[in-house]
Amino acid sequence: MTRGGQSRIIEVPGGYHVWTRRVGEGSLQMLTLHGGPGANHEYLEVLERHLDPAQGGPDVTFYYYDQLGSYYADQPDDTSLWTVERFREEVEAVREALGLEQFVLYGQSWGGMLAIEYALAYPEHLKGLVISNMTASIASYVAHLKTLRAALPTDVQRRLADFEAREDYFNPAYEELLVSTLYTQHLCRLDPWPDAVVRGLERISQPVYRTMQGPNEFVVTGNFAEWDRWDRLSEIRVPTLLLVGRHDTMNPADIEEMGRRMPDAEVAVLENGSHLALWDDEAAYFEALEGFLTRLEP
């Protein structure tokens, strides 16, 4: 689906390489951070339907970027690389290589966490920030997951708990139960899922994902489990758009609270959306995103 543009391989610290691709020729520059951790840019391809000045979209050039370990990047066999801090510095290396200054940083899900980290460390480079479907701490995320699970029928809760008590996370019956109950309600509510979403999930890097997140979206056992930036949100002073689906794995109330704590933030709650609201509440999602980017145009 990728429209025009130019692909570029960038060397990052450690001598590894990541993949990027420029799309468009607009005056406003935007770097995208995909979710996962360990997913890739493919599920973000819907951006091209909307961020096209020729079709009435904002005057934007945006960059896909597959983080280290992802499908189009180097995939080193070294789990010590999969940390929040190393990925933050990787983003800075990519920014420098692309020559981006006063740019917009867009992060979805895990990419939103990474965007928060980058904004706290390197605010001088940012013109704007988009945090899509990500709360300010993993503890907040886990608390909302418990609420979502508690709304399931009792027998489903019991069956999920039985698998998890045995740590039988990769049993096909457990995975099917997750998909049929939680994933279809809170990850993506479209039926069937778009091809780009299916490709993105099929190609997720399990070593990265399991090291940082855990076995699945609803069980967090990875090394970022203690991540929390609630107390530092007030330091992020660039214009910020916060996006969340009403049916998201992230609590809309948390994202609204983030908006109150950040000096120059606006919040869009997508009433029909889930964690992938860019797909299952596409019109409302992109109305908010396009409006925000248009206001940032030079």
Nearest to 131 by CA among 283, 246, 239: 239
In the residue annotation, 109 being an active-site residue is answered as: yes
Q: Please give the Cα distance from 161 to 155 (Å, whole number).
A: 10
- Pick the catalytic residue from 50, 66, 70, 109: 109
- Pick the catalytic residue from 132, 275, 280, 281: 275
Rg (CA), the chain: 18
Sheet bearing 60-66, strands edge to edge: 6-12, 16-23, 60-66, 28-33, 103-108, 126-132, 240-245, 265-270
255 with 112: CB under 8 angstroms?
no
- What's the one-letter identity of residue 262? M
In the residue annotation, 125 being an active-site residue is answered as: no
In the residue annotation, 248 being an active-site residue is answered as: yes
- Pick the catalytic residue from 34, 41, 50, 248: 248
Residue 220, judged by CB atoms within 10 A of its CB (0-12, 13-18, 19+), counts as middle
User: Which residues are known to be catalytic?
Assistant: 109, 248, 275
